[in-house]
Structure 1
C-alpha cells in the first residue's frame, strides 16, 4: 500500500511541473524529458524501480509506464509552448494534474476501501482538485486579474478533465496514463475553445445532481463503472452547456431507460431479449445513444462561433434523445410479449430477432417519445411548444423505426447493436432539424 501511494505521489509531482510551463516557455518540455531520461537509463532496479514499476515493467526491466507518462507530458508541453500554439497552458495543466492527482486520490482511498465506486470517486475528487490547482497556477502567471470571474469555468473544466480521465482510465491499462493525459488535454482544449458561459449555480447544481445520480445508477445496477462515468460526464455537459431543461431531457432517458432495462429482467433473460451485463449499460451503449445529443449541446454552446441558430441544435438534441428513449422502451417493453413481427416483412419471428417489433413495444416507444418531447417543449429552445413538441415526437418515432429497419437489414456480425443505435439517433436528429427548418420556411411556429 505504501509503495502504491509513493508511486502515485511521484506521478502527481511530475504532473505538477505542468503548472510551470508558462514560466519555462520554450523550455517547458525539459523537466519532463529529464525525468523520462533518468527513469529510463538510471533506474533499472532497487527500491525506486520497485516503487515506480507498473504492471509489465518488471518483466521488461524498464519503467516504461512512467517514462511514457513523462514523454507524453513533454510532448504536450512542447505543443503548448510553440509560437501561436493552439493548446492553451491551462488545458495542459488541467489534463496533467487530473491524471496525476487522480491516481493519487485513488491510491489514498485504496488504503481504506476496495470497492470500485469509492476508488473511482477518489480518482475524480483528486483529479478535480488537481486540475483546479493547475489552472489557477497557470492563470496567476498569464492573467490573474480575472481569476475570480474565471473560477466557475475553471471548476467546470476541472470536473470535465477528471471525469474524462477516470473514464479513459477505466477503459485502458494502468500503465497507459500517457494515453489518458493526451486524450484529456485535447478534450479540455476543445471546451476552452468553445468558451462556454458558465455560472456558479449551474456548476454547483450539475456537480451535485450528476454525482448523486451517477451513484444511484451504479448502486442499482443500471450502469457499469465506465457507463456511470460516461453518463455523469454527459449529464454535466448538458446542464452546464445547455441548461436545466437540456439536463432534464437527457436524464429522463438515462433514468427511465435504465429502469426499463432492469424491469422484469429475469423474464427477459429467459426469453433471450435481456440487455447484456445484467442490464448494466456500459460506455459503448451510453455513447451510442447519447453521442449525437452531446455533439448538439456542445454545438449549442458554440452557437456564436459556428453561426447556426441555437434552436436547430436544440431540435437535434431532442430528436436524438427522443429516438434513444423510444427505441429503448420499445425493445425493453416489447421484448416481454409474444408474436413479434419483422418490421420489413411483418412475418412472425422469434423473440429477440433483430428488427422484430410488437405493437406493445411500439406504444411504449411512442410514450417515451412523447415524454421527451414534453420535457423539451417547455425546457429547451425549440419554439412553439405544440409545434416543437410534435416535431420531436415525429423524430423519435421515425428514429425508432429506422433502428428496427437497420436491425432487420444490416445488424449482425459486422454491424453491431451500438452502431445501429448511433445511426438511429443520428436519423432522429436529422429528421427533427429538417422538419424544423421546413416548418420555419412555411411560417409554422417551430
Structure 2
C-alpha cells in the first residue's frame, strides 16, 4: 500500500466518525473538533507520517487534517442547531473521505484521469448511500432509497467536479459545498422513483463519458455537464433534459465546424473546442436555477410553466450565441453591433449576417423541441422562446462590444445573456400565455 493510499484510508476512517452523528447529536461536533485540535498538536511520529500531506510536511503541522475536522464540526453544528438532517451530514463527509480513497486506489494502478474521476464519484456515491441508510435506520426514519441515491449521486458529482478543479487541501470547501447543496435538496422533498434515478444515473454517466471521449468537454466540463444533466432529469424530467442535451450536442458540433479554419483566424475555442467548467456553467447556470425553482415552484405560488419558459429561454440564448459565434466565425467582414463599422474577426461584439441567421435558427430549434415535448408551449410559446433566444444573443453581442474585456469576462457575459433570455422568456410567457 502506497503512502498516498494509506493517507486517504486514514482520512476515510476519520470521515466515518460522521456515522455517530445520529447518536451523539451535538457531541459529534465536539468529536470532530477534538480531531482538529489534536491534529494541530502533532508535529512528528507515526500519526504525523500517516496524515501528513506534502504541504503539512513543509509546515510541520497537520493543517490538512485540522481543516478537515473543523469543516466536519461546522456541518455537525448545523445539524444540531440549524436543522440540517443528520443523513446529509453523513453523506457530505463520507463522500469526500471515501471518494478520495477510491481515487487514490485508482491512481495507484496508473488509471487514466477519466477513470480516477470515475473512481472518486463511484466511491463517494457508494459510501454516501450506505452512510445515509445507516443514519436513517439509527434514527428509525423510513428509508426512501431512491431519494437517498439521488442525494448521494448529487453530492458525489458535485464533490468530483470541485475536486477536479481544486487541490486536496480544499477538501473542507468541498464538504461544505456538498452539505449546502444536499440540504437544499432535502428541504425540497424531491420525489424520486427507482426507475427515475436509475435512468438518470445511467444517462448521466453515458452523457459525461461521451462528451469527454469526443473531446467536447474537459474533465471539469464533463463533470459540470453530468451534474446538470442528472439534476435536470430528476428535478425537471426527460423533456427538460432533451432541451439541454440538444444544446450540448449541437453546440459541440458547431464548435468542431471548420475548426482548423477558425483556429487559423484566431476565433476558435481553446483546447480544440473542449468546453471547461466555466464555459458550461456560464451557459447553463441560469438553466440550472430555473430547474431548481421549478422543483420548488409550489413554495413560490408561481406556475411551473414560468420556470419552464425561463429554462427554455436561457438554453435558446446559449444555443443562439454558440451558433452565431461558431458559424459566423468562418465568414469575413464582421461588423461591430453598436456602430456597424467593420472589425477584425474575433472582435468582441462583432457580428455577421450569417452568424445572426445561424443564431436565430438555433433558438428556433430549441423552441421546436420544447413545442414538441411540452403541451403548454405550443406555437405561441415556441415564438416566445425564439424571441427570448434571439434577444439574449443580441445582449451578448452588445455586452461584448461595450463591457467585455475590461469589465466583464466571457463567462460573465454568457451568464448575463442567458439570464436575459430567461427573463424575456418567462416575462413574455406571463404576458401572452397566462
Instruction: Report the TM range for the smaller structure's normalisation.
Output: over 0.9
Q: Give the distance between the partners of 2:251 and 2:59, measured in 1 at CA.
A: 46
The reply to whether residue 360 of structure 1 matches residue 357 of structure 2 is no
Deviation of 1:407 after TM superposition, in Å, equals 0.8
Match of residue 92 from structure 2: 95
Q: Give the distance between the partners of 1:130 and 1:286, measured in 2 at CA.
A: 28
The reply to whether residue 291 of structure 1 matches residue 249 of structure 2 is no
Aligned residue runs from structure 1 range 338-353, under 5 A: 338-353=332-347
Match of residue 35 from structure 1: 35
**Please, which runs of 5 or more residues in structure 1 have no aligned partner?**
442-446
Match of residue 9 from structure 2: 9
TM-score by length of 1: 0.95
> Size of the alignment, in residue pairs?
434
Match of residue 226 from structure 1: 220
Q: In 2 relative to 1, CA 384–224 (structure 1 residues): closer, same or farther, beyond 3 Å?
A: closer
Q: Give the distance between the partners of 1:79 and 1:313, measured in 2 at CA.
A: 30
Q: Give the distance between the partners of 1:412 and 1:366, measured in 2 at CA.
A: 25
Match of residue 66 from structure 2: 67
What SS is found at the alignment partner of 1:125?
helix
Question: Which of 131, 154, 177 is matched with 2:148 structurally?
Answer: 154
Q: In 2 relative to 1, CA 384–59 (structure 1 residues): closer, same or farther, beyond 3 Å?
A: closer
What SS is found at the alignment partner of 2:54?
coil
The reply to whether residue 404 of structure 1 matches residue 406 of structure 2 is no
Contact 1:244 1:379 in 2 (8 A): no
Match of residue 386 from structure 1: 379
Q: Identify which range, 224-233 or 278-287, moves more after superposition.
A: 278-287
Deviation of 1:384 after TM superposition, in Å, equals 4.1
Q: Give the distance between the partners of 1:107 and 1:337, measured in 2 at CA.
A: 48
Q: Give the distance between the partners of 1:291 and 1:271, measured in 2 at CA.
A: 30
The reply to whether residue 115 of structure 1 matches residue 112 of structure 2 is yes
Match of residue 195 from structure 2: 201
The reply to whether residue 135 of structure 1 matches residue 132 of structure 2 is yes
Q: Give the distance between the partners of 1:72 and 1:24, measured in 2 at CA.
A: 17
What SS is found at the alignment partner of 1:161?
helix
Contact 2:94 2:127 in 1 (8 A): yes
Q: Give the distance between the partners of 1:264 and 1:20, measured in 2 at CA.
A: 57
Instruction: Report the aligned-residue RMSD.
Output: 1.3
TM-score by length of 2: 0.97
The reply to whether residue 79 of structure 1 matches residue 116 of structure 2 is no
What SS is found at the alignment partner of 1:143?
coil
**Please, which runs of 5 or more residues in structure 2 have no aligned partner?**
none
Match of residue 235 from structure 1: 229
Q: Give the distance between the partners of 1:129 and 1:380, measured in 2 at CA.
A: 35
